[in-house]
Structure 1
């Protein structure tokens, strides 16, 4: 681990902002289709025109697939591309699907973002999956 440069908290925060905006944009693009599907299967019988409050939960699967697809294929996300960072495993082996799946699932731990406020700011999704985000 001595020859690698762990990404700074600033880069990690920028990654989070860019990825959150990207996920939100995807949600807004996909929301009309989601509403149509949910209405067709009878899950939104009482949804009024313009009402989205009950649809906020639909952003979770979009976030899940955003991270699974981008990190799974590229070991990076849009935010990491912009800040020139990538994901590595602590044992120096290639990051695999199980690593990415574990990272992604851990992102949904309540208050996971607060794990960056510790003395050694490494997110739980990094610790638990034994991965790190490093500068390229």
Structure 2
């Protein structure tokens, strides 16, 4: 009787209908989100940027419309004349301020902008935690640097590198030690 295999080994060998055993990610053992999820692809980052640009301009349109209605009612005066006569520098400055506010508010409160919410991505620190207000603010200011959107096609976007953050894909979970080893092959 000592030479008999264990019951589990017999069951695995005999029962072809047994359910597979899946590895479960426990963040306490993995350490942080950066080790549990893949970084977001360049395509998703580009889609995030496009969605967020539309959102920023949408916020601008809503604010201008609200202030225009306030002028119609008589609360303010001269706003619509100023908007019609706005020069290029004023337009760029207002868009920059709106961009900084949009990203700072959304990424500080939710670690996600509207684009990241749609694509299933999230901002984290390089250590894997939630970014601080100052790192998100730095990230937001970095976004108004000319040609910064093109940096996402390199190794790392400038706003990530300068603020010590990264964007992970919440829909691509890395499971177990084998996935950690294969991580480099599928990027």
Under a length normalisation based on structure 2, what TM-score does the superposition of the two structures give?
A: 0.60
Residue of structure 2 equivalent to 1:15: 48
* Deviation, structure 1 residue 80: 0.2
Residue of structure 1 equivalent to 2:161: 127
Residue of structure 2 equivalent to 1:69: 105
Asked if structure 1 preserves the Cα contact closer than 8 Å seen for 2:35 and 2:128, the reply is no
* DSSP 3-state at the match of 2:84: coil
Count of residues paired in the alignment: 128
Change (3 A) 1:53 1:87: same
Supply the distance in 2 between the matched residues of 1:41 and 1:123 (Cα, whole angstroms): 42
Residue of structure 2 equivalent to 1:56: 91
Supply the distance in 2 between the matched residues of 1:128 and 1:89 (Cα, whole angstroms): 11
Residue of structure 1 equivalent to 2:129: 93
Residue of structure 2 equivalent to 1:82: 118
Q: Which runs of 5+ in 1 are unaligned?
A: none
* Deviation, structure 1 residue 2: 4.7
* DSSP 3-state at the match of 1:24: helix
Supply the distance in 2 between the matched residues of 1:9 and 1:19 (Cα, whole angstroms): 15
Q: Which runs of 5+ in 2 are unaligned?
A: 1-33, 171-187
The structure with the largest alpha-carbon Rg is 2
Cα RMSD after superposing both structures: 2.6
Asked if structure 1 preserves the Cα contact closer than 8 Å seen for 2:125 and 2:131, the reply is yes
Supply the distance in 2 between the matched residues of 1:3 and 1:88 (Cα, whole angstroms): 12
Instruction: Give the alignment partner of residue 63 of structure 2, picking from 16, 23, 30.
Output: 30
